[in-house]
């Protein structure tokens, strides 16, 4: 009798265990994770998303996960990519903090010119997790977008086809393509240049035709989009820090099974280290290849940046007005405290 009861109990446990696993599997089967980004597959963004996909499939093999680079579903238009993420056509995307600042203007403050020395300085600052930055991220949820993780990205540099640009006198009157956002327009006007707002897809042709003399962007982006082919001189001056926000459709995220959501959170955090490695390797390779093809690099020292910083008064006033004077003071203090 005891043997019979024991056998019955073991059988029950086996069935219960199988049933539990089945419930988890069935939850996974219904999960679709479409990821879209707006850069080529050679860019670090693709590598970061491939890592997320690979790790998710290891833990949840029934997930249907597809990555769409180059804004394939949105004709390369970041506004449409956001709309598609908000409406759950895709569930995940990423964009520069300055682009997402079109939805939450306070995010522009993280790209205040000459606030951070380099990418590692920005990372150290973000690791302190300022409360006001958390509040800015949370505001994206009003647009049905949730910040999953903050990725590092190479600082914005300057490419041009005309001449070496060392002092503000060198940039006077030159036309530069900038994103169509007040922060960039105000910054380049303060420098003494003539900003020309254009979509990213038009930069190459605009430089080729001489409509603009150059552009500002990260080193790797300038390389992977091949705009360097139309330039000659390159400032490595880290004038504007740039980070990338990986965002997901909030409704989709909130309705995920708890175990899947927890795994996604952990994997997203782990992907930051992967991104840092990809960016460092990518920028080193990009610089080597661009130099081999005739691009002349100028590396700015702190002293060389000083005349440019002195011109940023109108920009700093604009940022302070957007986020509030007290918060701007905290931002500057936080940047100074994490400077090495």
d(CA 82, CA 73): 11
Which pLDDT belongs to residue 25? 43
Return the closest-CA partner of residue 222 out of 290, 322, 148. Answer: 290
Taking the alpha carbons at both ends of the chain, their separation in whole angstroms is: 75
- CATH architecture for residues 30-337: 3-Layer(aba) Sandwich (3.40)
**Cβ atoms within 10 A of the Cβ of 154, count?**
23
pTM: predicted TM-score of the whole model, two decimal places = 0.85
pLDDT number for residue 30: 76
pLDDT value of position 301? 97
184/179 Cα distance (integer angstroms): 7
pLDDT along the chain (340 residues), means of 10: 40 38 49 96 94 98 97 92 97 95 96 96 95 98 97 95 98 96 96 95 96 96 95 98 96 98 98 93 96 98 98 98 98 97
Alpha-carbon span 82 to 36, nearest angstrom: 10
Q: Which two tokens stand for residue 70?
A: 């180059």
Residues in Cβ contact with 127 at an 8 Å cutoff, skipping those fewer than 6 apart: none
Name the residue ranges covered by the structural domains of the chain: 30-337
């Amino acid at each position: 009798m005891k043997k019979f009861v024991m056998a019955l109990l073991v059988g029950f446990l086996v069935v219960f265990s199988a049933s539990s696993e089945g419930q988890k599997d069935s939850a996974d089967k219904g999960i679709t994770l479409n990821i879209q980004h707006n850069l080529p597959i050679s860019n670090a963004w693709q590598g970061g998303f491939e890592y997320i996909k690979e790790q998710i499939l290891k833990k949840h093999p029934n997930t249907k996960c597809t990555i769409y680079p180059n804004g394939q579903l949105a004709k390369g238009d970041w506004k449409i990519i956001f709309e598609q993420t908000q409406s759950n056509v895709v569930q995940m995307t990423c964009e520069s903090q300055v682009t997402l600042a079109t939805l939450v203007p306070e995010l522009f403050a993280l790209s205040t010119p000459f606030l951070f020395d380099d990418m590692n300085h920005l990372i150290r600052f973000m690791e302190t997790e300022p409360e006001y930055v958390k509040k800015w991220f949370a505001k994206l949820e009003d647009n049905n977008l949730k910040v999953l993780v903050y990725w590092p990205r190479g600082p914005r540099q300057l490419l041009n086809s005309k001449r070496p640009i060392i002092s503000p006198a060198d940039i006077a009157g030159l036309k530069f393509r900038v994103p169509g956002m007040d922060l960039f327009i105000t910054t380049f006007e303060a420098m003494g240049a003539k900003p020309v707002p254009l979509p990213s897809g038009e930069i190459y042709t605009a430089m080729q035709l001489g409509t603009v003399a150059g552009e500002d962007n990260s080193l790797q982006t300038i390389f992977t989009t091949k705009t360097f082919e139309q330039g000659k001189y390159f400032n490595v001056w880290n004038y504007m820090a740039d980070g990338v926000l990986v965002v997901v459709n909030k409704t989709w995220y909130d309705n995920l099974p708890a175990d899947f959501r927890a795994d996604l959170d952990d994997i997203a955090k782990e992907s930051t280290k992967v991104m840092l490695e990809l960016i460092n390797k990518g920028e080193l390779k990009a610089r080597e290849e661009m130099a081999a093809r005739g691009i002349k690099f100028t590396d700015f020292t702190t002293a060389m940046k000083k005349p440019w910083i002195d011109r940023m008064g109108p920009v700093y006033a604009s940022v302070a007005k957007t986020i509030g004077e007290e918060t701007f003071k905290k931002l500057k203090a936080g940047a100074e405290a994490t400077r090495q």
